[in-house]
A and B are shown apart, each in its own frame.
Chain A
Amino acid sequence: MDEADLIKRARSGDTDAFEVLVIENQDFVYNLALRTLGNAVEAEDVAQDAFVRAWLALPKFRQQAKFRTWLYRIVVNLCYNRFPHLRRELVILVDEDIADISDVAKESDIVFGIERSERRAFLHRQIDDLPDHYRMLVSLRYQDELSYNEIATITNLPIGTVKTGLFRAKDRLRKAILELEEIF
């Protein structure tokens, strides 16, 4: 059964169909909440609340967006409600004239030596230590593989602000690599 059928059944009150939708999306929804809030208990609470709100608002869901994207929007709004500073800090980002940040993932298979996995783990810790508003953007962009447009829609921010936020997040990580190199 495809997603549209499950949504149709859930909309008519079928909780079993909704449970399938929950199982399919729970990891992504929980992960986004966790990456944004940085606290497992809060993240679980927000993720559960997001699904309950989705269930109640399902009759209004017109399927113009993907179900998961719609869920992300609910999660982000819940995070904004809990932590108003999150949106404030994103809104105040001044748009910079950033060249299109192309993600050259294909070339990332270059071998860097034996310390590669250690450096990767170091960078993952650095991502965890990013301010929550940057972490949310990173999660939406790299874990959920959303376009800038989709992120802008979900976060209710201008696309320029999204790009600036991601640029600054990467800039912090770049500086962290340089500091690491200076140490060794």
Chain B
Amino acid sequence: MTSAHENGQKNYFELEDALQTYPITPAPAGFSKKVIDKVRTSTPKLQFRLSWFDYALTFFSTSMVGLALILWQLIPTQWIMLVRFQAFILWERSMRFPYKPNLFAGCTLAILAILFALVFFKRPRFVASSQ
């Protein structure tokens, strides 16, 4: 009886010993290099790339500036005088009552800025890809 108990205990310790000494197999040679190579190729790289919309927006903006210059040349001299006169009156009025025109100009500029931001930031953009 005692022998069976001792045998059981011996087996128990033997088993624990085997589990504790179960060897750790080291990683193969060059393992870390392979991992780092993979890591470098899998890192998302932000590449500078212009999308078709960037080209379209640039073309549109420069066209508008060119068109504005051409139209300005085509306006008759009398009309230009009239515009200058109107501008002078507006300027004079704004000097008398500066609050309203300034508010109007400020709001117009703010709306234009928001519109520009919407067009600029909501344009289709290149998304960084990971291999």
A interface list, Cβ under 8 A from B: 13, 15, 18-19, 22-23, 26-31, 34-35, 40, 44, 47-48, 51-52, 55-56, 103-105, 107-110, 112, 116, 119-120, 123-124, 126-127, 138-139, 141-143, 170, 173-174, 177-178, 181
11 contacts between A and B (CB under 8 A): A18-B36, A19-B35, A23-B32, A48-B35, A51-B38, A56-B130, A109-B17, A120-B18, A123-B15, A142-B19, A177-B14
Which one of B21-29, B47-55, B56-64 is at the interface?
Answer: B21-29
By the criterion CB–CB under 8 Å, are A31 and B25 in contact?
yes
Total interface residues on B, CB under 8 Å, equals: 31
- Residues of chain B within 8 A (CB-CB) of A177 are 11, 14-15
Residues of A within 8 A of B122 (CB): none
- Note all chain B residues with C-beta closer than 8 A to A116: 14
Main SS of chain B's interface residues?
Answer: helix
Bound complex: CA A56 to CA B28 (Å): 23
State which of A30, A56, A103, A112 has its C-beta within 8 Å of the C-beta of B26.
A30
Contact check: which of B10, B19, B25, B42 meets A30 at CB < 8 Å?
A: B25
Judge whether B39 and A108 touch: CB under 8 Å: no
Number of A-B contacts (CB under 8 A): 121
Specify the chain B residue showing the minimal Cβ separation from A16: B36
A31 to B18 CA separation, bound complex (whole angstroms): 17
B43 contacts A by Cβ under 8 Å = yes
Q: Does any Cβ of A come within 8 Å of B16's Cβ?
A: yes
Alpha-carbon distance between A160 and B121 when the two chains are bound, in angstroms: 54
Considering the complex, give the chain B residue whose CB is closest to the CB of A177.
Answer: B11
Given A30-B31, A44-B28, A173-B15, decide whether A55 and B20 contact each other with a Cβ distance below 8 A: no
Contact of A55 with B18 in the complex, beta carbons under 8 Å: no
Q: Tell me which of A105, A126, A143 contacts B24 (CB under 8 A).
A: A143
Closest A residue to B41 by beta carbon equals A52
